[in-house]
Amino acid sequence: DGGITQSPKYLFRKEGQNVTLSCEQNLNHDAMYWYRQDPGQGLRLIYYSQIVNDFQKGDIAEGYSVSREKKESFPLTVTSAQKNPTAFYLCASSIDVWLAGGPRLQYFGAGTRLSVL
Amino acid sequence: AQKITQTQPGMFVQEKEAVTLDCTYDTSDQSYGLFWYKQPSSGEMIFLIYQGSYDEQNATEGRYSLNFQKARKSANLVISASQLGDSAMYFCAMREGTPGGGADGLTFGKGTHLIIQP
């Protein structure tokens, strides 16, 4: 079945540690996204990538880094510079953004809950 | 200023009743898209319905319909004949910009927690 796989489901970070959240998709989508969700809040865009080897900052990129070496994969690293990393992280993908028209619907993974020890 | 405003933090509705979830948006773009997603307690985001800014007809998908009032910048979600399984968080979201260019992430509202009571 096609979809988006995020791992791990739960992750704990120690003070000063970098952690990496995995996101893999087999939908053959070109665009991928990372969102952060705090309790009782909507999603906020961290980073997005429209094509392999290219990515752009979203609204809250500070303290995070990404890479896009393969079309299927878009890992997110939460660095030690992110002082408040506890949140629910959601990865999404959508069809080629350069196609005209259509909703370019974003499909989401099941999320990773990150907590600080 | 918030780009997506959902004014109902929580709602209680009796099973089988219709429910309207409010969403207003703010954009200066002529081309944009509006989405509704459902988030059950498991956390996954489930797409419900989409309305493009140039669509003249209100979108419908099964029990879901979108009441799109462009001049008022509102895109309310209507769920007909609510079911217990409809209990979840509901988010309104917007994508701005013309197709093929510009940022492509979604801007989300803070959500409405809908609880269906038997």
Q: Name the closest residue on chain B to residue A6, using Cα atoms.
A: B44
Distance CA B18, CA A58 (A): 36
Residues 6+ apart with CB under 8 A from B100: A97, A98, A99, A100
**How many alpha carbons lie under 13 Å from residue A13 in its C-beta half-sphere?**
23
Name the residue facing B99 among A31, A100, A109 (closest C-beta): A100
Does B31 or B86 have the greater pLDDT score? B86
pLDDT tens-digit readout, B45-73: 999 999 999 888 999 999 999 999 999 99
Q: Mean of the pLDDT values across residues A6-31?
A: 94
**What mean pLDDT comes out for the span A53-67?**
95
3-state SS string for B37-70:
EEECCCCCCEEEEEEECCCCCCCEECCEEEEEEC
Percent of chain A with pLDDT over 90: 74
- Contact assignment for A108 to B99 by CB distance below 8 Å: no
Which string of b and e fits B88-97 if b means at least 16 CB within 10 Å? bbbbbbbbbb
CB contact under 8 A, B45 and A90: yes
- Mean pLDDT for all residues in chain A: 91
How many angstroms separate the Cα of B51 from the Cα of each of A16, B2, B48, B76, B111?
44, 20, 11, 11, 18
- Cα separation, A100 vs B52, in Å, equals 13
Task: Round to whole Å and give the CA distance between B62 and A111.
Answer: 27
pLDDT at B98: 55
Name which of B7, B42, B24 is nearest B94 in CA terms: B24
**Which of chain A's residues have a Cβ under 8 Å away from the Cβ of B33?**
103-104
Mean pLDDT calculated for residue range B16-44: 94
